[in-house]
């Protein structure tokens, strides 16, 4: 086979080298194009950033000037409504100047164009009656908008331009004056353009003729490479905000090298920051965990409430020092124990086993329960236990948590308080009867004297040999009636005074009031007080101690009778009213109280006395002990009720107490 011609072989080698050359050229072109493109992108980004920053500055200036105008308009409303005097208005103007350094001065003219207040010692345009801003502006009578005029040079300065705007004060449809606010255009740039923006850009405010009115260039003059122009619109006036960046165009080579170095540096810094942040977070988490553990340990060790935790099988997994001190066993002797526990009292084993079975079935009582535990020395003591489910961080129950309170002292205090209360009630009954005894002796004289008179008359009839049987029978019947009356009085007092144990039983309020009524009437007779009572039909029974309630009624009625001693005889009326009172709604319907009211028409109770009325040993009587009302309130609260008082609209006082129905 003959070899290909030389020209053909050269042609094949040319195409073989052409592809790598093209790839190299493409790579070089890419290397050149990428920095150039990066340069263009950076230039575009700078221009876009300049436009965005210029827009932000323009909006900031517009917002601040609008805000100043709104504040001044509000002050103008107060001025028109005569809420501000010139001195006060001047103080408000100066406060506004202190917080807004771009404002040069503020002046207030009234409807007669008289300067009323100014923040400057020299009146504005005082000697220039033709100044365009001095009121009135032509046509302002029918205008409500702010009007701004072309900036003018501040007097006694060379290049400080002032932008003055006049805010009309309108009352009804008529001009009532005006407020003129003057801004330093240079101050607007200095106060409202941020320093970082002024460091990179030359900021200027120009008029419509492109005359520079204010200029700020903290970082040097602009390079005229990146520029942007925005319109500053005011009422009746338009100015130009121009920004000229002092940055040059990005360099091609430095852009590529700096970009690589920056990327590598940022990557290294980011790695170090991430590592440092992770270490700090780990250390902070460990420190917080140690603090929490230490705090929890200190808190649990300082508790006087016993704590214990049990797993799902009832095995003790945790006890705190208070629980160990309570039962007299160290933690290592009880942790890991399953029932029966060493602190269980033998006589209550059945109760413990029943509660333990309920706990294992998940029936943990929502309320606490009382039981008896046994210390290591064999001493029994009462405890109050609260059980709750122990749930882990995943919401799964892992056991039960218990709070145990030693209530030995509480039980002792309750028993002592109960004994003292019973003695106090007995003493109060005797004290009450001491006050009734004198009236009882006086009142018994009447039936006894009548009995003596009737029997003496009957004896005289018999001695005289009279056979008038009707007269004799009448005398004996009247003597018998007086005997029954005296006996009824004595039996009522005896039933009240005799010593009885405090016990609750169903009590009819109607029968209770009827049974105590003779004693009430006995007290009322000596003071010529008329006693009436009103009972609502079908009153429900209450679960109460009858003797205690009788004592409360007698005490309240006696106070009511004594309160009416100084009242006119025709106004001495004591009323006892019993009714049903609904105070809530339960699952089965309305829950009722029985309300008893003792109403008098006496002198009433002042606010000073009412504050201490139920305090122990407080009394307005010279011979009183000051315990009656306190004992009454205690007795009513003992039955789960309330005792209070209010003024009687017709004069006097209404004492009222309510008792829950059984």
Where do the domains of the chain lie? Answer: 60-245, 263-290, 303-406, 408-499, 504-662
For 289-337, what is each residue's pLDDT tens digit? Answer: 888 888 877 777 777 888 888 888 888 888 888 888 888 888 888 888 8
**CA 25 to the chain's CA centroid:** 77
CATH 3.30.450.350 fits 60-245, yes or no: yes
Please answer whether residues 405 and 383 qualify as being in contact, where contact means their C-beta atoms are separated by less than 8 angstroms.
Answer: yes
- Classify burial at 64, counting beta carbons within 10 Å of its beta carbon; exposed 0-12, middle 13-18, buried 19 or more: middle
Inform me whether the pLDDT recorded for 624 exceeds 60: no
Q: What angle do CA 124, 125, 129 make, to 5 degrees?
A: 140
Q: Are 587 and 622 in contact (CB under 8 A)?
A: no
Q: Is the domain covering 303-406 a CATH 3.30.450.20 domain?
A: yes
For residues 93 and 106, the answer to whether their CB atoms sit within 8 Å is: yes
| Three-class HEC string of 98-139 | HHCCCEEEEEEEECCCCEEEECCCCCCCCCCCCCCCCCCCCC
CATH 1.10.357 holds for 408-499? no
Residue 250 near residue 43 (C-beta atoms within 8 A): yes
Q: How confident is the model at residue 596 (pLDDT cuts 50, 70, 90)?
A: very high
Preceding amide of 279 cis, omega within 30? no
Structure tokens at 298: 């200190």
Tell me the two tokens of residue 106. 């503020």
pLDDT of 423 over the 90 cut: no
Percent of the chain at pLDDT exceeding 90: 5
Q: Specify the length of the chain in residues.
A: 662
* Average pLDDT over the chain, rounded to an integer: 78
* First-to-final CA distance of the chain: 129
Per-residue pLDDT tens over the stretch 346-392: 888 888 888 888 777 776 666 778 888 888 888 888 888 888 888 88
Output the DSSP codes for 413-470.
HHHHHHHHHHHHHHHHHHHHHHHHHHHHHHHHHHHHHHHHHHHHHHHHHHHTT---HH
Does the pLDDT value for residue 608 go beyond 50? yes
Q: How confident is the model at residue 446 (pLDDT cuts 50, 70, 90)?
A: low
Read off the pLDDT band of 614 (50, 70, 90).
low
Spatial separation of the C-alpha atoms in residues 65 and 71, rounded to whole Å: 10
Strand partners, 241: 205, 230
The number of C-alpha atoms within 13 Å of 390 and in the hemisphere containing its C-beta is 21
Query: Is a pLDDT exceeding 80 seen at residue 532?
Result: yes
The yes-or-no answer to whether 303-406 and 504-662 have a common fold is: no
Q: What class is the 504-662 domain?
A: alpha beta
**Kind of pairing between the strands at 642-647 and 653-660:** antiparallel
For 546-576, what is each residue's pLDDT tens digit? 877 887 888 889 888 888 888 888 889 999 9
């Amino acid at each position: 086979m003959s070899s290909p011609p030389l020209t053909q072989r050269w042609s094949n080698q040319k195409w073989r080298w052409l592809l790598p050359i093209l790839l190299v050229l493409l790579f070089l072109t890419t290397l050149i194009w990428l920095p150039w493109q990066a340069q263009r992108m950076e230039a575009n980004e700078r221009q876009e950033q300049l436009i965005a920053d210029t827009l932000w500055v323009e909006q900031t200036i517009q917002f601040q000037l609008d805000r100043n105008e709104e504040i001044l308009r509000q002050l103008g409303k107060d001025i028109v409504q005569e809420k501000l005097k010139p001195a006060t208005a001047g103080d408000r103007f100066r406060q506004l100047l202190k917080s807004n350094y771009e404002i040069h001065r503020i002046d207030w003219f009234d409807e007669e164009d008289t300067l009323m207040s100014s923040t400057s010692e020299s009146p504005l345009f005082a000697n220039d009656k033709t100044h365009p801003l001095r009121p009135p502006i032509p046509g302002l009578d029918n205008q409500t908008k702010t009007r701004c005029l072309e900036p003018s040079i501040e007097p006694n300065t060379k290049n400080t331009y002032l932008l003055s705007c006049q805010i009309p004060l309108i009352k009804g449809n008529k001009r009532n004056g005006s407020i003129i606010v003057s801004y330093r255009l240079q101050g607007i740039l200095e106060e409202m353009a941020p320093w970082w923006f002024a460091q990179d850009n030359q900021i200027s405010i120009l008029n419509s003729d492109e005359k520079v009115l204010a200029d700020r260039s903290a970082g040097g003059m602009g390079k005229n490479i990146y520029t942007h122009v925005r319109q500053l619109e005011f009422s009746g006036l338009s100015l130009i905000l121009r920004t000229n960046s002092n940055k040059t165009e990005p360099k091609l080579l430095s852009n590529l090298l700096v970009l690589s170095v920056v990327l590598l540096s940022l990557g290294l810094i980011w790695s170090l920051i991430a590592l440092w942040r992770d270490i700090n977070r780990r250390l902070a988490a460990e420190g917080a965990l140690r603090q929490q553990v230490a705090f929890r340990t200190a808190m649990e060790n300082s508790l006087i409430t016993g704590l214990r935790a049990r797993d799902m099988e009832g095995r003790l997994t945790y006890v705190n020092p208070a629980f160990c001190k309570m039962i007299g066993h160290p933690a290592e002797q009880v942790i890991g124990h399953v029932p029966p526990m060493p602190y269980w009292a033998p006589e209550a084993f059945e109760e413990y086993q029943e509660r333990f079975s309920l706990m294992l079935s998940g029936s943990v009582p929502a309320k606490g329960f009382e039981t008896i535990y046994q210390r290591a020395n064999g001493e029994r003591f009462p405890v109050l236990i609260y059980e709750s489910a122990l749930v882990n961080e995943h919401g799964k129950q892992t056991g039960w948590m218990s709070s145990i309170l030693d209530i030995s002292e509480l039980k002792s205090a309750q028993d002592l308080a109960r004994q003292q209360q019973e003695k106090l009630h007995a003493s109060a009954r005797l004290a009450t009867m001491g006050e009734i005894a004198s009236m009882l002796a006086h009142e018994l004289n009447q039936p006894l004297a009548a009995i003596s008179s009737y029997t003496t008359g009957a004896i005289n009839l018999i001695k005289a040999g009279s056979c008038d049987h009707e007269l004799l029978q009448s005398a004996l019947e009247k003597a018998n009636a007086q005997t029954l009356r005296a006996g009824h009085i004595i039996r009522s007092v005896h039933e009240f005074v005799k010593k009885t144990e405090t016990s609750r039983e169903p009590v009819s309020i109607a029968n209770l009031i009827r049974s105590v009524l003779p004693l009430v009437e006995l007290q009322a007779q000596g003071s010529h007080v008329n006693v009436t009572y009103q009972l609502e039909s079908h009153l429900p029974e209450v679960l109460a101690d009858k003797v205690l309630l009788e004592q409360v009624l007698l005490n309240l009625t006696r106070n009511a009778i004594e309160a009416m001693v100084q009242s006119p005889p025709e106004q001495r009326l004591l009323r006892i009213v019993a009714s049903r009172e609904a105070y809530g709604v339960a699952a089965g319907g309305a829950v009722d109280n029985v309300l008893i009211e003792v109403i008098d028409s006496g002198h009433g109770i002042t606010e000073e006395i009412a504050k201490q009325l139920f305090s122990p040993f407080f009394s307005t009587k010279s011979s009183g002990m000051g315990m009656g009302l306190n004992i009454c309130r205690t007795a009513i609260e003992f039955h789960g009720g309330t005792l209070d008082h209010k003024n009687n609209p017709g004069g006097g006082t209404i004492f009222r107490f309510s008792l829950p129905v059984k």
